[in-house]
Structure 1
Amino acid sequence: MTKMIQCISPVDGRVYAERPALTLAEAEAVAARARAAQPDWAARPLEDRIALVKAGVAKLNEMKDRVVEELAWQMGRPTRFGGEFGGVNDRTNYMAEIAEKTLAATVVEDSEKFRRTLAREPVGVVFIIAPWNYPYLTTINTLVPALIAGNTVVLKHATQTMLVGERLVEAFVEAGVPEDVFQNVYLTHDVTEELLQNRAFNFVNFTGSVGGGAAIERAAAGTFTGLGLELGGKDPGYVMEDADLDAAVDSLMDGAMFNAGQCCCGIERIYVHESLYDAFVEKAVAWVKALKLGNPFDQATTLGPMANKRFAHVVREQVAEAIAEGAVALIDPALFPEDDGGAYLAPQILVNVNHEMRVMREESFGPVVGIMPVSGDEEAIAAMNDSPYGLTCSLWTQDVERAAAIGARIETGTVFMNRCDYLDPALCWTGCKDTGRGAALSALGYHSVTRPKSYHLKKVTK
């Protein structure tokens, strides 16, 4: 019997879309077509590949209205925030801009006797397993450099945003990218694992849970397939005594609550210098109370449902456990129209929390944040590092040198000062500890989807 993959809409709980999953044989045929198409794609001039990729993104922009509506149905993001086109366009343009320089061979010597160069070549077939929370942006991070570098791409999108893969392929193929160069698939976990075990791909980029990343590693063990893994996060903010309080509240609370808290680098725990703690908490509560939870198609809605009721269940459990262990909830859920046990979840601020509580230790990925007072930098640094994750941290101070010095001591992939929940395509997107390994965007993003190749050419025989 054919396995059907379904997207359950968080808006109303109905089956919004469903597609048949490929059998192993069908999936292997997709990978084989991608491998067969790769040499010809790589042989095209770099400027042609860049032009086709940019044309594909331009076609995607033409789908804006449809994409925004589909995202609301699939994962609940309010339509007032539009799609992800600003980030998609910025990242595409930057990666296209640096492609020639980044992919150019380095000439070590070109003399009468020798030509020695260090080149970069595409790895072959890139497999992207994309998440649902920012479904276009996270795909673009690897898709654009992979195609520009001369790889072919197979995309498996999250079930919750299953139509995103179709839209991306539709746009790129309409723009002129050959069909076998970029393909979308629907796969079960067991078929995905068999493909990895059978070396169907040369590089796998996965964004998702720590458990999912571990499963990818196990499936690829012994195959020497390259892996890029962006996994869990519990990103901290630290508000120092000299911080701009209003700016810190506005940015950190937005970083905690935007997209219903479902952001890879969203703020999940905040440490505030004791001299500002009471004022910060008071302003944060007022900020959250001004949110409007509701149907994502209502233009007044600023907080939509979580993408799935099971995700909301995890957050509800964490909050309930924390309260039972002594935490104090500052937001009355009655202020927000929750659906009992469903995807619509009231935002929450917790104080009197500690690192023994699951809500301060494990990834929440929802609209909840714990706030703790700290006496100074040493206590804050210890607290920020007391986590199995390391994606970003957000430091709030007037002193750049102080922020840099603190940042050097934090186990994280990115250090922000006076901002958070942001991705700069010129900088490497990476994490450490259980957040995973690998690099996306910047010049290093090209290094992930290419391999070095050395040429030592002797021009004489003696």
Structure 2
Amino acid sequence: MTFIPNAGTVPDRTRFFINGEWAGPRGTETLRVVEAATGETLATAALGSEADIDAAVRAARTALDEGPWGRTTTAERAGVMRRFADALAARAEDTSVLVSRENGMPISLSNAFNGAAPANLLRMYADLIEDFPLEEVRASASGSTIVRREPVGVVGAIVPWNYPQVLAMFKIAPALAAGCTIVLKPSPETALDSYVLGEAAAEAGLPPGVLNIVLAGREAGACLVSHPLVDKIAFTGSTPAGRVIGAECGRLIRRCTLELGGKSAAIFLDDGDIDTLRAGLYNASFMNNSQTCTTQSRILAPRARYDEVVDAVASFARELTLGNPLDRSTTCGPMASEAHLNRVLGFIDAGCNSGARLVTGGGCPVSPGRGWFVEPTVFADVDNSDELAREEVFGPVIAVIPFGDDDEAVRIANDSAYGLAGSVWSGDQERALGIARRVRTGTIGLNNYNLDLGAPFGGMKDSGIGRELGPEALDNYLEYKSIYTGVPQSGK
């Protein structure tokens, strides 16, 4: 394991971004933010109360109902969004380092997902909305109807700790494009980086109340979900939390999108190329220390080539460089928190106590004795009914499962409560595509897994409701209104 000197001090964050200003907390609760790689204190952050959430929601409601944002032209919105993107891009390097210190993400990955991607998403949705028609005139039996697209309203955005900047922007960018106002609740596990969004929004000239940011725990988050002035919840996180949020939104007849967990399968067919698999394993199964909802932690291998696949996956896991996430040679950093480390170790214990065979890893590294590191771990001979194959680990613990023919591979892949991601590995593109079409999942890759920010992303079954990314995400933040005119009209 490799370590480099501390990256410097981080300021305490004791205010929230509400109504375009940095407001003092209405409560007294604080949080000690700890660096994942060292276990040492990074800074102190204020935790919001229900009163802070209420103030943020009311600011967003006023900005929607009385402010200029919802009445701006799409071209005006696009201009502000591009300035917002520029302000984030100017801060990208520092933001990437901060997130890596918070959650252990390797810095090369953080540069892409916490540095570059948020600005790119803002620009993408600015381009989409700039010439987007908000009204369409349709002929009708009584003359004509104007079909109008309007913002859904105040959006409560709740994001997790694993990719905090880009997952926040999955929601913020299309919501802004649609003319919505937003209350963002970041995760306490990454308590500091969301302040960058507020600073950049203010610099870009986003009107007061359009984007509000309150760091808070579960109780205050529940207040956001049930607040009577909120029109939609956009949530990324665990399936158990998503069930609670979805139930509350259903009770309130409130719109929601839920991007939840996964237990995805990578299917290696008997004509697959082992070198291709090795080249794509990081993206598919080990990205961000496997703290990724799309992690393909079930690798399905044909019995005829089973040992070959097990050896390839195990050797790849052994070759990962475990160490400080700020060291560019590191390919596997620590878990995001001590509690999460213990959760991952619990799944390793469950695997060791099952009929599975531990091939590599299985514990914490001996040195340097600090931070929340776990060895990349591979189990072979896993049965798809085992806990290791059913539950989302959210850490570098891989289960290799044997299959006979293509039909059995598809059955095993689909025998899961989840359906978020997956991949098929084959030397025959058409064969792989045929298998991919049969797997019940929201996203799937052929001979790799590369997320496309321009295409819809989301899950089936317990992996969620709705889609983010791509032009399709705009629909999550728009309402349709039909105006029956009775006479022919021209659209705007």
TM range (shorter): over 0.9
Instruction: Give the 5 Å matches for 1:341-420.
Output: 343-420=372-449
**Amino acid paired to 1:16:** L
Q: Does the 8 Å CA contact 2:458/2:467 hold for their aligned counterparts?
A: yes
Equivalent residue in structure 1 for 2:144, among 107, 115, 127 = 115
Q: Deviations over 1:246-276 (max 9, x none)?
A: 1112212442222110112111110012233
Instruction: Give the 5 Å matches for 1:248-259.
Output: 248-259=277-288
Measured after TM superposition, the shift of residue 332 of structure 1 is 4.4
Corresponding residue for residue 297 of structure 1: 326
Other structure's SS at 1:163 match: coil
Query: Kindly, what percent of the aligned residue pairs are identical?
Result: 29
Measured after TM superposition, the shift of residue 298 of structure 1 is 2.7
Corresponding residue for residue 229 of structure 1: 258
Instruction: Give the 5 Å matches for 1:257-272.
Output: 257-272=286-301
Alignment of 1:142 with 2:171, yes or no, is yes
Equivalent residue in structure 2 for 1:87, among 117, 138, 141 = 117
Aligned equivalents of 1:147 and 1:418: distance in 2?
A: 35
Aligned equivalents of 1:228 and 1:17: distance in 2?
A: 32
Equivalent residue in structure 1 for 2:214, among 185, 205, 210 = 185
**Amino acid paired to 1:120:** R
Corresponding residue for residue 4 of structure 1: 30
Q: Deviations over 1:77-102 (max 9, x none)?
A: 22244422343344333333322565
Corresponding residue for residue 288 of structure 1: 317
Corresponding residue for residue 90 of structure 2: 62
Alignment of 1:426 with 2:443, yes or no, is no
Alignment of 1:208 with 2:234, yes or no, is no
- Give the ranges of 4+ consecutive aligned residues of structure 1 lying more than 4 Å apart after TM superposition: 100-103, 332-342
How much is the aligned-residue C-alpha RMSD, in angstroms?
A: 2.3
Aligned equivalents of 1:227 and 1:405: distance in 2?
A: 32
Equivalent residue in structure 1 for 2:205, among 167, 176, 180 = 176
Q: Deviations over 1:271-316 (max 9, x none)?
A: 0122332222222222222211112233332211011122121221
Q: Does the 8 Å CA contact 2:364/2:374 hold for their aligned counterparts?
A: no
Question: Which deviates more from structure 2 when the two are superposed, residues 215-224 or residues 243-252?
Answer: 215-224
Aligned equivalents of 2:447 and 2:253: distance in 1?
A: 40
Measured after TM superposition, the shift of residue 173 of structure 1 is 1.4
CA spacing shift, 1:6–1:452, aligned 2, 3 Å: farther
Q: Does the 8 Å CA contact 1:9/1:16 hold for their aligned counterparts?
A: yes
Alignment of 1:435 with 2:463, yes or no, is yes
Other structure's SS at 2:374 match: coil
CA spacing shift, 1:410–1:292, aligned 2, 3 Å: same
Corresponding residue for residue 320 of structure 1: 349
TM-score, normalised to structure 2's length?
A: 0.87
CA spacing shift, 1:102–1:442, aligned 2, 3 Å: farther
Measured after TM superposition, the shift of residue 103 of structure 1 is 5.0
Equivalent residue in structure 2 for 1:152, among 162, 173, 181 = 181
**Amino acid paired to 1:308:** S
Q: Deviations over 1:396-437 (max 9, x none)?
A: 1233333333233222111221221x3212321121111110
Q: Does the 8 Å CA contact 2:156/2:224 hold for their aligned counterparts?
A: no
Aligned equivalents of 1:342 and 1:147: distance in 2?
A: 38
Corresponding residue for residue 26 of structure 1: 52
Unaligned runs of 5+ in 1: none
CA spacing shift, 1:215–1:8, aligned 2, 3 Å: farther
Measured after TM superposition, the shift of residue 339 of structure 1 is 6.4
Question: Which deviates more from structure 2 when the two are superposed, residues 211-220 or residues 50-59?
Answer: 211-220
CA spacing shift, 1:81–1:187, aligned 2, 3 Å: closer
CA spacing shift, 1:64–1:393, aligned 2, 3 Å: same
Question: Which deviates more from structure 2 when the two are superposed, residues 96-105 or residues 377-386?
Answer: 96-105
Aligned equivalents of 1:278 and 1:270: distance in 2?
A: 12
Equivalent residue in structure 2 for 1:35, among 61, 64, 70 = 61
Aligned equivalents of 1:276 and 1:54: distance in 2?
A: 51
Q: Deviations over 1:129-153 (max 9, x none)?
A: 0111111111111110100110111
Measured after TM superposition, the shift of residue 336 of structure 1 is 4.3
Measured after TM superposition, the shift of residue 167 of structure 1 is 0.7
Other structure's SS at 2:485 match: strand
**Amino acid paired to 2:444:** V
Other structure's SS at 2:444 match: strand
Unaligned runs of 5+ in 2: 1-26
